Structures are given as structure tokens and as C-alpha cells.
Amino acid sequence: MKIPVILNGEKTILEARPDETLLTVLRRLGLFSVKKGCGKGRCGFCTVLLNAKPVPSCILPAGIVRDASIVTLEYFSKSTAYTDIMRGFEQAGLHLCGYCNSAKVFAVYDLIETSYRPTQEELEQLADSLTCSCTDRSSFINGVLYAVANRHKSVKRK
């Protein structure tokens, strides 16, 4: 089936079988930031932004994304939001493993977009929701706080 979408800022027609997941289709297109993990939508390794919200692509049937905007980490990595987040992680001394990057980056992006000043509870819930253990909880929360501060500086400059 042919599925029209906006993929990484470009109008695109995805070719997919009815039983295929968005993860499978994206990887076939060479978008390898979407990783296959649990296959149940829990680990977040396959996270993409669907209409600006982070979602696990491993449980989305490709057919339901018709006319949606899909952003992968490959494209998002060119944005100032990504730079702000990664700079925050670096300031906190975080080194991501590469497998969970899309889960962590998109989760932090969503938090920054929905909460100007995240509460300690929001930060802890975010840290607890991510399954990859390449970073410790405290350093991750500090990285998020740095990312929030960086984002505020970037947005003020505009």
C-alpha cells in the first residue's frame, strides 16, 4: 500500500504491506536511528516524533500514519533543540550508548516543549520511564536540567 506522509520535512510516499510496522518501513529506508528493541513499545529505542509527539514506531501499523508528520533522530539532530539537549547531556557528563538516543532525546524534547520549568516529580517520572541503563538517574536528571536551561537561552535569542 502507498502511504503519504511528511518524513523528515519531505513529502514522501511510504510503501508498506498492511502488516508492517512503521519501524520496519523506516529501517528499510535506511533510517537506523530507529532501533529494534522490545517490539512491544516499552523500551523506546524505536521512538520517532509523530505529529511532534514521541511514539514507539515498533507498535504502529504503517497504515495509520497516513498524512502524518514523522521525524527521526537523523533529521532532528540538525535542530537547535537537539543541540540544546545534547549540550545539556554533555554538561552533565552523560554519554549515551547509541541504542537509546532517540528514546532519551525525544522524551526530553517533549518535556521541554510541554513544561517550561519541569518539577522534580516530572523529572523523576521521565527518568523512571526510560529503560536503558547507560546513564545513571541523577546524572540524567541533571542533563535534563541543563538542556532546559540551554533551550531557554536559545529561544530567547530568536
Is the torsion defined by CA of 40, 127, 134, 155 positive or negative? positive
Q: How many CA atoms lie within 13 A of 148 on its CB side?
A: 21
What percentage of the chain has pLDDT greater than the value 70?
A: 99
pLDDT at 2: 96
Q: How confident is the model over 46-53, as a mean pLDDT?
A: 97
Alpha-carbon distance of 148 to 158, in angstroms, equals 16
Q: What pLDDT digit, counting tens, does each position of 80-127 carry? A: 999 999 999 999 999 998 889 999 999 999 999 999 999 999 999 999
What secondary structure does DSSP assign to 106-142, as a single string? HHHHHHHHH-SS--HHHHHHHHHH----SS-HHHHHH
Give the end-to-end CA distance of the chain in Å, rounded to a whole number: 42
Residue spans of beta strands (DSSP E) within the chain? 2-7, 10-15, 47-50, 53-56, 69-71
